[in-house]
Amino acid sequence: MSAAAYSTVRPAQAELTVKRSRFLGYAYPVRDEDELKARVAALKALFKTATHICYGAVYDKTGAALRFSDDGEPGGTAGKPILDAIRGRGLCETLVAVVRWFGGVKLGTGGLSRAYGDCAAAVLDRAEPIVMTLSDRFRVTAEPALYARAERGLRAFCTVQDVTYGEKVVVLAAAPGGSGAEARLNGLFAGKGVVEFLETAYVEEEKR
C-alpha cells in the first residue's frame, strides 16, 4: 500500500494437524520490535511443552522491517514460509507465530514448509484486516442542537473516534490527510462550532 495507508490485522488463531504434529497459529498486530519480542516471549511462557515456536513478522508501517525464526527447525522451513504468507497479503505491523508439537512422524523439509505456510495462511484467513490511513485529527466543540444537525454530514467524510455529551458536545474526528477536512468542518458547523486541529497520525479506517 502507499505511504498514506497500510494494512494489518486483528488477533486471530487457527489450528492444523499434519501427520500427528499439531500446529497452532496466532496472528497479532505489532507496532515495533519490542512488541514483537513481547508477544513471542508470552507464547513461549504459555506453551512450555511445545517443540518449536516459529514466527515471521513485518513490524513497521512500510514493510521494510522483517524478522523470522525457525526456532530449531531446519533452516528456511518455518519462519520464512510464515513471513512469505504475511508479505503475500501486503500486510505491515503483523506477527504470525506457529506453535508446533511434534507428533512422532518426520515431515521432511518440504512437508515442514507446507505445514508452517498453510498454518500461517489459515490464521490470516481468520484474521480481520484493518486499514490504517494517515489522517488529520480534530476536536470539534459545538452546541448539542448544532451537532445533531451536522452529525450525518460529519460522518460522511470523517471517522468519529469519540463523542462526549454535556453542556457542549465534544467530538474527536479524523479525516484522510490533505482532504481539506478542516475547511469542510468549519463550513459544516457554519462557523458556530470550534474546530481544533490536533495532529496527523495513522487512524483505523472506518468501514462504511
Where are the CATH 3.30.70.240 domain residues in the chain? 131-204
Question: Which amino acid, residue 11?
Answer: P
Distance CA 33, CA 167 (A): 44
Q: For 38-91, what is each residue's pLDDT tens digit?
A: 999 999 999 999 999 999 999 999 999 999 999 999 999 999 999 999 999 999
**Grid cell 486541529 in the structure block, residue:** 197
Distance CA 203, CA 14 (A): 27
Where are the CATH 3.30.230.30 domain residues in the chain? 5-127
The CATH architecture assigned to 5-127 reads 2-Layer Sandwich (3.30)
Cα 50 versus chain centre, distance: 26
Question: What is the pTM assigned to this prediction?
Answer: 0.84
Averaged confidence pLDDT in the chain: 93
Q: What is the CATH number of domain 131-204?
A: 3.30.70.240
Helix runs in 47-107, H state only: 79-88
Q: How confident is the model at residue 1 (pLDDT cuts 50, 70, 90)?
A: very low
